[in-house]
A = this chain, B = another copy of it.
Amino acid sequence: MHNNKQNHRTTQQRKVILEELKKVKSHPAADEIYRMVRKRLPRISLGTVYRNLEVLSELKEIQQIELAGSLKRFDGNPENHYHLRCIICGRIDDAPFELENNLEKQMRTFTDYTIISHKLEFIGICPECSSKLP
């Protein structure tokens, strides 16, 4: 994790990364951003891109979309259901309520996408971790 207490500077690299990202609506991955930024700063490194994306997220200038990543968890229950994830210990519990078919119905009225399914995850602190907090 990164230290939140740092004083952040406005470097060329940081500025250009932010500008390029704000320009597009394609939600690029880090290496795509690297490619975009290199057109203006040919000597920038991938490491710098990663570090700045982290800092810019902390500063709430951008956000990271973490859905559907490559680190997977597996669930012996094949039925569609929602999950609760603890931000402290990382445990995942099943959510105690049903899928909302309404959400997909709503979405269909608003877009031209063919909606196939949806994923909903709640983020919070599990009772066990709560009880251990100072």
Contacts and interface: CB of A to CB of B under 8 A. Distances in A.
A17 to B, nearest CB: 9
Interface residues of A, number: 70
A26 B91 CA distance: 7
Q: Give this chain's copy count.
A: 2
Interface string A42-79: 00000000000100000011111111111111111111
A104 to B, nearest CB: 7
Question: Dominant SS at the A interface?
Answer: mixed
Nearest to A72: B64
B97 A74 contact: no
A119 B121 contact: yes
A33 to B, nearest CB: 6
Given A65-B75, A116-B124, 6 more contacts: A62-B78, A67-B67, A69-B72, A115-B124, A117-B122, A120-B120
Interface of A: 18, 21-30, 33, 53, 60-80, 83-87, 91-97, 100, 103-104, 106-107, 110-127, 130
